[in-house]
Amino acid sequence: MPANPIYLDHAATTPLLPEALAAMQEGWRVWANPSSPHAAGRAARAALEGARARLKALLGWHGEVIFTSGASEALALGIARAKCGQVLVSAVEHDAALRAAGDAQRLEVGADGLVNLKCTKMHLNDTKRPLAVVQQVNSETGVVQNITEIAQVVHAAGGVLLCDAAQGAAKLEIPAEADMVVLSAHKFGGPVGVGALLVRDYALVEPSGGQERGYRGGTESLPLVLGMVAALEAGSGWLKSASALRESLTAQLIENGAEIVAAEAPRCPTIAAYRMPGKSSAAQLIRFDGAGIAVSAGSACSSGSLKASHVLTAMGYAHPGEVIRVSIGRETTEAEIARFVDVWKEIRG
């Protein structure tokens, strides 16, 4: 491995924050099962409920919180157990949402990656209490959906909106207009293996297990929950500098022949997708990796196969096989961005 490797794949996963690690270490000392009725179990339950209350306060969420093993489980739970008939899912959702939704109606997006509200209205069927599944931030392009407008359309049809905020949490405000919201701790400096489904009201979902007030099966992992909350408490003061770094990177790459995917759409300040004309994504990844720079060609859950991006395909993008994703974290420096640009120039030739 080259000396001083550069990590620009924070949308896939983020380094564990020291605050999260410290909270987890404390959590391992509270080893009892939170469902046990004895004193040790009650102490674990008190710590778990304290973490739940802190999470809600941090996010300004006034509904309920169901802890899960991550975003994939939260999406599956929300989609499968929602008390709804018709299911609609945007065509650019994460693979986990698309798998959970099966053959559900796809909501079209424009060339900018934004959900087409006119078409969404046409698809909604208020006689079947529709469930619409729309992400807050796209993991491949960084495009931010207008959740407020989408919620208005869905609610006007008597429907329920499930918003995947895995990429947006701790960077953008939680979409308070949504009825259910999905979180994933390892996307904001927390541990892998824990997330949450925020639910406005338990009445929206069918019970499905013995824990989490009967809405999820499996013993809660107190250390991981504590690590997730501690990561959220670490704050987002680094985002201003991250946004400046991405703007600097974008300007330099445009000067060197790059095309920016969804350049005119509102985008998260930490994610961007760039096309290098004439160079395949696979070739770029190999060269960047050889130079000690970690980037990706899309969602980490699908880019391992380097198959055509369903996100770029849904957007009608003409050159999906020449796009890579760069995602910035709180540790990213100007020197690392400069090194990335140098390697970009070398690859482009």
Active site residues: 301
In DSSP terms, 316 is beta-bridged to: none
Question: Strands, DSSP E only, in 136-257?
Answer: 160-164, 180-184, 195-199
Give DSSP secondary structure letters for 154-182. HHHTT-EEEEE-TTTBTTB---TT-SEEE
CB 222 within 8 Å of CB 34: yes
Instruction: Give CA–CA dist 349/343, Å, rounded.
Output: 10
Please report, to the nearest 10 degrees, the dihedral formed by the alpha carbons of residues 247, 251, 253, 256 taken in order: -170
- The tokens for 202 are 């338990």
Q: Of the candidates 273, 300, 99, which has an alpha carbon nearest to the alpha carbon of residue 184?
A: 300
276 burial type by CB count under 10 A (0-12 exposed, 13-18 middle, 19+ buried): buried
Q: Residue holding tokens 């924070």?
A: 10
- The structure tokens listed for 28 are 């391992």
